[in-house]
Amino acid sequence: MVPELAAALARELVRRADEEQRLMRQARADATPRCRRALADCREANAEALAVIVHRHGWPTADLVGASASTAALMILLHAPDLDFQLSCRDLIAQAAADGRCPALHHVYIADHCAVEQGRPQFYGTRVNPLTLRPYPIRRPETLDERRRDVGLGPLDEQMRTLRDGG
pLDDT single digits (tens) 44-96:
999 999 999 999 999 999 999 999 999 999 999 999 999 999 999 999 999 99
The answer to whether the beta carbons of residues 88 and 32 sit under 8 Å apart is no
What was the pLDDT predicted at 138? 97
Beta-bridged to residue 23, according to DSSP, are none
Contacts of 65 (CB under 8 A, 6+ apart): 6, 9, 10, 13, 73
Report the distance separating Cα 143 and Cα 123, nearest Å.
10
Say how many Å lie between the first and final Cα of the chain, rounded.
Answer: 39
Exposure on the CB side of residue 26, measured as CA atoms within 13 A: 16
Which of 44, 87, 50 is CA-nearest to residue 70? Answer: 50
pTM to 2 decimal places: 0.92
What was the pLDDT predicted at 2? 87
